[in-house]
């Protein structure tokens, strides 16, 4: 539906892993931010010397005018083979020069290296590492963190942390920190030893993940999988459950109850499943349902959603909507019935719809004044009802991951009646006009 590559990736991950838990069904998925901490640690470190001890002894000797190998051998007490091999290596490294190994002299580069070797001492340094509070690991820093602001702007669900999981200096081990900085790959970091940790500042950051919610087919038990870059992290999934954090991401409300209520409502309306072709869509197929409705509609398209987000109403989707109304389809969009919907809606998306409505009398956009299901109606052909927010599913970080399956009905009489009901509701005077301020 959207040009956003994350959406396609997430839906693909969800579909690929839909059957990964026998006895469970995948009921929802969404982007979540797994908390990490960037730690800036003041530590005592000892840098490694730029040359080994034998090489340093030889450079010091040559710098004091001991330039022939026999004298060097007597003064330093080195084995002749060790002395010769070290001198050859220093000549190759441009620290010494001399065509005859019996007589050498120190180069400017060798003098500079020797001076650095004299200056090596214990010193204070600031080290950057990453701490994973769920796995208690100290990791090397990486560049694709998300800040709290980026998490909110991206509409990702934040995993909160209890106080006992916040990192403290006394919890860090010197060896863990040293291994992390030596894994960075920079020569300077690899050439130092960490002796002691003195102080620490922590900054909360997040790692992008996809949360997959599974529900037991015969009970209300829920399982949450955490997926990083297409791979499930069992350690993070178990840690979230162990620390009671899973329920802060996943709603405890069972989706099967809502689907059951809707089915009973259809039965009261005398819609027979055999003739109505009632279809329950899995969550990874929901994003494409809207574009399918736009492509199939010939007379009327109705969409309701709690908010409007630019990530969903991007250029591609707006172009499809524009073609839809220019083809004579009467389009009615209702939004904003949830508390805080205006705050969570994107002003740019609201204005884009308003501009199109001014150009196209076939488009009617209204802000709703009472709560309703997320509804999608394509002519009199079919109607999908869901907890899935058709126009804002990427933009609400406050929503828990719910069972967002849609119940689709294709009974013509029923769909026509509902389309008329919704058209009347969305054109009524008591509905608020679009507001993008």
- For the chain, give the mean pLDDT: 81
* pLDDT tens for each residue of 187-216: 444 567 888 999 999 999 999 999 998 888
Please check the confidence at residue 323 and state whether its pLDDT lies above 80: yes
pLDDT tens digits along 134-191: 999 998 877 778 988 888 777 778 888 888 999 999 989 999 998 888 766 544 445 6
Mean local confidence (pLDDT), 91-106 = 81
Do residues 38 and 203 lie in contact, with contact meaning Cβ atoms separated by under 8 Å? yes
| Residue 435 scores a pLDDT above 50 | no
pLDDT band at residue 395 under the 50/70/90 scheme? very low
Most confident of 231-235, 286-290, 347-351, 406-410: 231-235
> Looking at per-residue confidence, does 378 or 283 come out higher?
378
What share of the chain in percent tops pLDDT 70? 82
Res. 437 pLDDT band, cuts 50 70 90: very low
Q: How far is CA 34 from the centre of its chain?
A: 8
Q: Which domains does the chain have, with CATH numbers?
A: 5-45+122-249 (no CATH), 49-119 (1.10.10.10), 255-433 (3.30.870.10)
> Region 65-72: what's the mean pLDDT?
84
Q: How confident is the model at residue 434 (pLDDT cuts 50, 70, 90)?
A: very low
CA 152 to chain CA centroid, nearest Å? 12
pLDDT number for residue 6 = 43
pLDDT value, residue 266: 74
Q: What is the 3-state secondary structure (H, E, C) of 39-68?
A: EEEEEEEEECCCCCHHHHHHHHHHHCCCCE
Query: Radius of gyration over alpha carbons of the chain, in Å?
Result: 33
Cβ 303 vs Cβ 320: under 8 Å: no
């Amino acid at each position: 539906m959207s040009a956003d590559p994350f959406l396609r990736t997430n839906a693909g991950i969800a579909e690929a892993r839909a059957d990964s838990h026998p006895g469970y069904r995948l009921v929802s998925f969404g982007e979540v931010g797994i908390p990490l901490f960037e730690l800036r640690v003041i530590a005592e470190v000892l840098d490694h010397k730029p040359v080994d001890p034998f090489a340093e002894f030889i450079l010091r000797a040559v710098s004091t005018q001991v330039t022939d190998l026999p004298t060097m051998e007597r003064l330093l007490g080195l084995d002749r083979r060790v002395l010769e091999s070290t001198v050859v290596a220093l000549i190759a490294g441009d620290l010494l020069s001399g065509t005859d190994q019996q007589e050498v002299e120190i180069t400017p580069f060798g003098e500079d290296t020797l001076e650095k070797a004299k200056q090596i001492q214990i010193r204070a340094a600031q080290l950057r590492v990453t701490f994973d509070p769920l796995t208690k690991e100290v990791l090397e820093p990486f560049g694709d963190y998300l800040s709290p602001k980026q998490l909110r702007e991206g509409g990702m669900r934040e995993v909160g942390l209890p106080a006992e999981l916040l990192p403290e200096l006394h919890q860090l081990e010197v060896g863990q920190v040293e291994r992390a900085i030596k894994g960075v790959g920079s020569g300077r970091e690899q050439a130092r030893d960490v002796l002691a940790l003195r102080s620490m500042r922590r900054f909360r950051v997040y790692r992008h993940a996809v949360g997959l919610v599974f529900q037991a087919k015969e009970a209300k038990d829920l399982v949450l999988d955490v997926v990083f870059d297409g791979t499930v992290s069992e350690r993070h999934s178990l840690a979230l459950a162990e620390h009671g954090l899973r329920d802060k991401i996943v709603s405890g409300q069972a989706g099967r109850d809502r689907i059951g209520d809707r089915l009973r409502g259809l039965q009261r309306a005398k819609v027979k499943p055999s003739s109505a072709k009632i279809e329950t869509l899995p969550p990874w197929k929901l994003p494409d349902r809207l574009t399918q409705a736009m492509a199939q509609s010939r007379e009327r398209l109705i969409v309701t959603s709690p908010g409007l987000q630019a990530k969903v109403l991007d250029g591609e989707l707006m172009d499809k909507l524009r073609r839809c109304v220019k083809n004579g389809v009467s389009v009615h969009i209702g939004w904003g019935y949830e508390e805080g919907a205006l705050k969570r809606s994107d002003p740019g998306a609201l204005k884009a719809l308003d501009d199109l409505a001014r150009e196209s009398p076939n488009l009617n956009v209204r802000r709703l004044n009472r709560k309703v299901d997320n509804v999608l109606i394509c002519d009199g052909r079919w109607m999908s009802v869901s907890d899935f927010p058709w126009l804002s599913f990427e933009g609400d970080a406050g929503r828990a991951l719910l069972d967002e399956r849609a119940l689709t009905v294709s009974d013509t009489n029923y769909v026509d009646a509902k389309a008329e009901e919704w058209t009347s509701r969305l054109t009524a005077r008591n509905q608020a006009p679009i507001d993008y301020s």
